[in-house]
Amino acid sequence: MSARAQASRPGTVDVVVIGAGHSGLAMSHCLTARGIEHVVLERGQVANSWRHERWDSLRLLTPNWLTRLPGSPFTGDDPDGYMSMDEVVAFITCYAKATAAPVQTGTTVTSVEPHAKGYTVTTDRGAWRS
């Protein structure tokens, strides 16, 4: 298997990342850069919390010029503005696509248990070992 896990089926990978938001996708980028096999498990869609758990009027609390992820600096035309919820969703979604993050959406993690050589991450679609 390559540095990226086959995101379509449970199995064994070096690292399981839970959540495809800012942090999970940034970690995926860093793991990929180091050639570490991984999968990103997301209960809903990429940027799910921003899509479904925020007020429509919410704006990011930091200026746009601070809004960047590894390998993706801010490139917009309003560096001193503040992204709307829809803009944040688009930013995160585009980042996931641009980095080809191995995201498995629609996958709810139900438990994480240690085992002799790592962890078993049980989901509603099967178990991953890392």
pLDDT digits (tens, 9 = 90+) for 39-74: 999 999 999 888 888 777 788 788 999 988 999 888
Q: Whole-angstrom Cα distance, residue 89 to residue 46?
A: 8
CA distances from 91 to 14, 46, 121, 127 (A): 27, 11, 28, 30
In a domain, 5, yes or no: no
Question: Total domain count for the chain?
Answer: 1
In a domain, 125, yes or no: yes
In a domain, 110, yes or no: yes
pTM for the full predicted model: 0.87
Tally Cβ neighbours within 10 Å of residue 108. Answer: 12
Q: What CATH number is given to the structural domain containing 54?
A: 3.50.50.60
Q: Could you tell me where the DSSP H helices lie in 34-113?
A: 48-52, 85-98
CA distances from 24 to 21, 45, 78 (A): 5, 13, 26
| Structural contact between residues 64 and 127, judged by C-beta atoms closer than 8 angstroms | no
**Structural domain boundaries enclosing 92:** 15-129
In a domain, 55, yes or no: yes
**DSSP type of residue 66:** G
In a domain, 2, yes or no: no
In a domain, 7, yes or no: no
Which pLDDT score, from 0 to 100, does residue 50 have? 83
In a domain, 8, yes or no: no
Q: Is the pLDDT of residue 1 over 70?
A: no
Band (3; pLDDT cuts 50, 70, 90): very low
